[in-house]
């Protein structure tokens, strides 16, 4: 099995109808007979209504939601995961 790359998007609609979204990529390294598989998560990017927003500047309370968005799975925060095909040729 080869290394795989994925992009994850999560979204949260606030009471004000603004949307907090998070996009990050991760790399899945398959294991071998002597090593277990490994996952490397890349730095997330946060948006409010499609404008990039620094995590450190998120309004109070949204940072906790942002943390939950990073560990969300299918069925949570409109979770979408898509495999990215890299072409290094």
Residues across the chain? 89
71 class by beta-carbon count within 10 Å (0-12 exposed, 13-18 middle, 19+ buried): exposed
In a domain, 51, yes or no: yes
Q: What is the pTM of this model?
A: 0.86
In a domain, residue 55? The reply is yes
Q: Determine, yes or no, domain membership for 20.
A: yes
Q: How far, in Å, CA of 66 to CA of 50, rounded? A: 15
- Helix segments in the chain, DSSP class H: 62-70
Q: Is residue 25 part of a domain?
A: yes
DSSP strand E in 14-57: where?
19-29, 38-41, 45-48, 51-53
The range of the structural domain enclosing residue 73 comes to: 4-84
Could you say which DSSP state residue 76 is in? Answer: S
Is residue 89 in some structural domain?
no
Instruction: Tell me the pLDDT tens digit for each residue of 43-75.
Output: 999 999 999 999 999 988 899 999 999 999 999
pLDDT value at position 88? 60
């Amino acid at each position: 099995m080869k290394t795989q790359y994925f992009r994850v998007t999560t979204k949260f609609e606030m009471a004000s109808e603004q949307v907090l979204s998070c996009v990050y990529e991760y790399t899945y390294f398959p294991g071998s007979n002597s090593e277990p598989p490994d996952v490397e998560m890349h730095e997330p990017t946060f948006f409010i209504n499609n404008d990039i927003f620094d995590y450190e500047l998120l309004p109070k309370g949204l940072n906790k939601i942002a943390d939950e968005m990073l560990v969300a799975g299918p069925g949570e925060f409109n979770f979408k995961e898509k495999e990215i095909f890299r072409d290094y040729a």
